[in-house]
């Protein structure tokens, strides 16, 4: 079903899921589309449409079951299927991502980090080993992991990407502040932290 959803709809579903997790922790059993729309400041009609598209039905004057809606979103987004990935670049950002335990809640498991710094190779981050980047092809062949989270400096991001693709990586989550060029069949998701910050700065009265 995920393939039938737009990227914007998928992003909204992840936002709904965040709200549902909070409600679940507070042991709140039901939630309405109005509550979701107010929290996210989006059109309630859009919320209802998204939920209808994933085949979740609510009850009049009650809303949706928090447990059921949360479970359906997790199923639609494949959160229940573990996806293993490598972090490329054991700098501050790479290490922070490796320590972020909440990835596991959404089915993402960081298996290892890779770097070229001899002082970092052989160390561990939360029991995740740091390997020499030049050995990644061997690791890919033995594990079949084909997802890379790229956190290298901008100036080497494209060169490293070329090497990753040659080594067998098929999916790249790019945190480097640059647009990568990849062959057909390789999928890249650009995480633009600076762009998000600049959008935030356009909010009125922020100076």
* Residue 10 to residue 6: CA distance in whole angstroms: 6
* Residue 48 to residue 34: CA distance in whole angstroms: 9
Identify the domain boundary among 61, 76, 91.
Answer: 76
Confidence grade of residue 194 (pLDDT, cut at 50, 70, 90): confident
One domain, residues 112 and 12? no
One domain, residues 127 and 166? yes
Beta strands in 91-134, from DSSP E residues, in sequence order: 108-115, 124-125, 128-132
One domain, residues 120 and 27? no
One domain, residues 44 and 111? no
* Domains identified in the chain, total number: 2
Residues whose CB is less than 8 angstroms from the CB of residue 134 and which lie 6 or more positions away in sequence, other chains included: 116
Of the candidates 39, 41, 36, the one whose C-alpha atom is nearest the C-alpha of residue 51 is: 36
Confirm whether 63 is domain-assigned.
yes
Q: Which domain holds residue 8?
A: 2-76
Confirm whether 48 is domain-assigned.
yes
What pLDDT is attached to residue 174?
A: 97
Tell whether pTM > 0.85: no
**What average pLDDT does the chain have?**
92
Residue 174 DSSP SS3: strand
Q: Please tell me the least confidently modeled range out of 2-11, 40-49, 118-127, 170-179.
A: 2-11
């Amino acid at each position: 079903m995920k393939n039938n959803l737009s990227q914007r709809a998928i992003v909204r579903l992840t936002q709904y899921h965040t709200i549902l997790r909070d409600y679940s922790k507070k042991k709140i059993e039901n939630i309405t589309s109005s509550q979701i729309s107010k929290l996210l400041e989006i059109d309630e009609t859009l919320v209802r449409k998204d939920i209808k598209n994933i085949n979740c039905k609510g009850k009049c004057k009650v809303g949706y079951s928090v447990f059921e809606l949360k479970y359906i979103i997790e199923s639609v987004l494949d959160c229940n299927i573990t996806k293993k990935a490598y972090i490329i670049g054991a700098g501050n950002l790479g290490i922070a991502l490796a320590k972020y335990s909440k990835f596991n809640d959404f089915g993402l498991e960081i298996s290892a980090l890779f770097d070229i710094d001899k002082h970092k190779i052989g160390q561990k981050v939360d029991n995740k080993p740091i390997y020499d980047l030049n050995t990644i092809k061997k690791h890919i062949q033995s594990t079949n992991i084909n997802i890379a989270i790229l956190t290298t400096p901008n100036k080497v991001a494209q060169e490293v990407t070329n090497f990753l693709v040659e080594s067998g990586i098929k999916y790249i989550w790019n945190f480097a502040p640059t647009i990568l060029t990849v062959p057909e069949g390789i999928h890249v998701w650009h995480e633009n932290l600076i762009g998000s910050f600049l959008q935030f700065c356009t909010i009125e009265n922020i100076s």
